[in-house]
């Protein structure tokens, strides 16, 4: 769960996760293939459906490059400008901007998803149901195997996040994490259960693909998917703000240098795709 919030705060960290511009560019060049391959796992699609899926992800890449990457770049600049005066409102602004970008990507795919859904056979809908159930069971199994205390898992997630930003947290900063994460409830099983209910309703709606109100029902259902807990978000944003505000000069310099590298990667990706 905490990884989801971090990804929303700064979406494009994934592009340059290795801190290598070349790898970032190569990853982005294949983004349409990665998305298509993930979608193709849901069912045994026909050749026409496969072509449609690959075409939609290619369209997404073109749209994202032209329209969204400049927005990601502005978001990264906003993140890079954070300093010792950072407060929770600064992080909340970045979070909301990242959330808007995520919603834009979801909305882009909606027309394609509706069109694809109307071509699904009953067997394919059943395959999608089986795949969704398998993903849910995988999450449950992973949680059951978790041997660490939930607060410890959250704490280590924060440490890894800031390490990704080039910052090694000191003891005082780790204490900030442990002081506030006690306010976060372990709702992982509840989130899985909520998603299972959402999945079941999705399958029910897909079966109505020939109804006149199918598009409306599907859009409303997709828009209803929300795993965010407001109190958790506030706590995470508060911890993030307090840690950044506590950076010493060396940490702040490394933080800004890492974000500058991410920005450079976006520039190179946009230049390569013009």
Per-residue tens of pLDDT for the chain, all 274 residues: 334 444 444 443 444 333 344 445 556 777 778 888 889 999 999 999 999 999 999 999 899 889 988 998 898 899 999 999 999 999 999 888 888 888 888 899 999 999 999 999 999 999 999 999 999 999 999 988 888 888 888 888 889 889 988 999 999 999 999 999 887 888 888 889 999 999 999 999 999 999 999 999 999 999 888 766 778 888 889 999 999 999 999 999 999 999 998 888 888 888 887 7
C-beta pairs of 126-129 under 8 Å, 24+ apart in sequence: 127/42, 127/43, 127/44, 128/42, 128/43, 128/203, 128/206, 129/199, 129/203
Res 27: pLDDT: 61
Res 59: pLDDT: 94
Res 12: pLDDT: 39
Domains: count for the chain: 1
Res 206: pLDDT: 96
Residue 235 exposed, middle or buried by CB count within 10 Å (0-12, 13-18, 19+): buried
Domain that holds residue 98: 2-272
- Round to whole Å and give the CA distance between 52 and 112: 8
The structure's pTM equals 0.84
- Round to whole Å and give the CA distance between 86 and 182: 22
């Amino acid at each position: 769960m905490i990884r989801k919030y971090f990804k929303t705060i700064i979406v494009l960290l994934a592009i340059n996760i290795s801190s290598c511009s070349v790898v970032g560019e190569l990853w982005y060049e294949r983004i349409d293939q990665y998305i298509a391959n993930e979608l193709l796992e849901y069912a045994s699609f026909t050749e026409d459906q496969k072509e449609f899926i690959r075409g939609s992800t290619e369209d997404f890449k073109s749209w994202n490059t032209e329209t969204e990457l400049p927005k990601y770049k502005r978001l990264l600049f906003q993140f890079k400008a954070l300093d010792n005066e950072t407060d929770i409102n600064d992080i909340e602004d970045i979070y909301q901007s990242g959330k808007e970008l995520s919603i834009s990507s979801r909305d882009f795919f909606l027309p394609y998803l509706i069109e694809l859904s109307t071509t699904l056979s009953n067997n394919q809908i059943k395959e999608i149901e089986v795949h969704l159930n398998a993903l849910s069971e995988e999450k449950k199994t992973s949680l059951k195997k978790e041997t660490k205390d939930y607060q410890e898992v959250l704490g280590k997630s924060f440490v890894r996040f800031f390490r990704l930003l080039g910052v090694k947290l000191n003891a005082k900063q780790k204490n900030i994490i442990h002081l506030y994460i006690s306010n976060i409830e372990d709702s992982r099983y509840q989130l899985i259960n909520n998603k299972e209910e959402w999945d079941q309703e999705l399958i029910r709606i897909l079966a109505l693909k020939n109804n006149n109100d199918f598009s409306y029902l599907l859009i409303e259902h997709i828009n209803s998917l929300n795993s965010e807990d407001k109190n958790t978000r506030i706590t995470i944003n508060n911890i993030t703000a307090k840690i950044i505000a506590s950076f010493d000069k060396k940490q702040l310099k490394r933080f800004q240098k890492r974000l500058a590298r991410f920005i450079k990667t976006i520039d190179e990706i946009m230049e390569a795709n013009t």
